Amino acid sequence: MFCTFLGTTEIARQMMRNLTVAVLVALCLPIFADEPATTDPNLADWGVPINPAGDCSFTASNEDLRIFVPGSETAHDLSPELESSTAPRVVQSISGDFVIEVRIDSQFEPGDESTQAGRTGYVGAGLVVFADDKNFVRLERATLHRQAGDPRPYTNFEIRVNGQLERAGRVGELPADQAKPTWLRLERKGDLMLGSVSLDGNNWEHAEPKELQAEAWMEDGIVAGVAAISTSKEHFEPRYSEFSLRQANVPNDK
């Protein structure tokens, strides 16, 4: 009887710890995240799913996460300067310096019609770090498709400062291969965000760091995770795996 009581007590304590963690993450999520999507227990290692448009879905297993973005007449973008921030994402709270990595696999075929007026068809999947809804960094494996042109794969590294895009990523700046998986890494070092990409998971190429200028980066409430962006009328279902988020741990590059 005594052993049974101890076991029950320990289970209760564990349940309370899990509940506390969930509450803390929810409190740290910035208000721009809208209402969290229905939580799948398998998503625990990834974070809290956010589904602003209400039409995307999340499927997780022990090995990977998939985000399904339906074909639509409206964009699932992450561009406050265009008043469009409905891209689905899965995020968790983080503070201080950190390193976040993920592997991306998908069919990147946006088509040449865009749901974002005046823009090209675009799909992207990768990492995102938010200070708030106006200040965040994106690093993603992407493909854009201009009308009467061919699809162009690239790695897109962008920062928004007070709601404005500092500079769009450009084709050819970082390696990208339509036929290969892509590994992405974001690393915060003080007031800099470093972005890196690899096509084999071992050898990395580094982009020019982004300066974290806004005061929001000095405050609590930073969240990091993965996102799926689409201005395509075709459905998009990127796969994320080999995810890690670690505090103040600098990786060794080859």
The answer to pTM > 0.85 is no
**Looking at the predicted structure, is the pLDDT value of residue 6 above 60?**
no
pLDDT tens digits along 42-61: 788 899 999 999 999 999 99
- Of the pLDDT bands very low, low, confident and very high (cuts 50, 70, 90), residue 168 is confident
Beta partners for residue 245, in sequence order: 100
Beta partners for residue 76, in sequence order: 230
- Domains observed in the chain: 2-247 (2.60.120.200)
**Looking at the predicted structure, is the pLDDT value of residue 114 above 80?**
no
Integer CA distances (angstroms), 174 to 170, 238, 250, in order = 8, 20, 21
H helices of the chain, where?
2-28
pLDDT at residue 43, as a whole number: 86
pLDDT tens digits along 57-99: 999 998 999 999 999 889 999 999 999 999 999 999 999 999 9
**Looking at the predicted structure, is the pLDDT value of residue 31 above 50?**
no
pLDDT at residue 251, as a whole number: 54
What are the tokens at 251? 């990786």
Higher pLDDT, 2 or 190: 190
Residue with tokens 């865009």: 114
Q: What is the mean pLDDT of the chain?
A: 84
Integer CA distances (angstroms), 208 to 31, 93, 144, 212, in order = 30, 25, 22, 13
Residue with tokens 């994320």: 240
Most confident of 54-68, 145-159, 161-175: 54-68
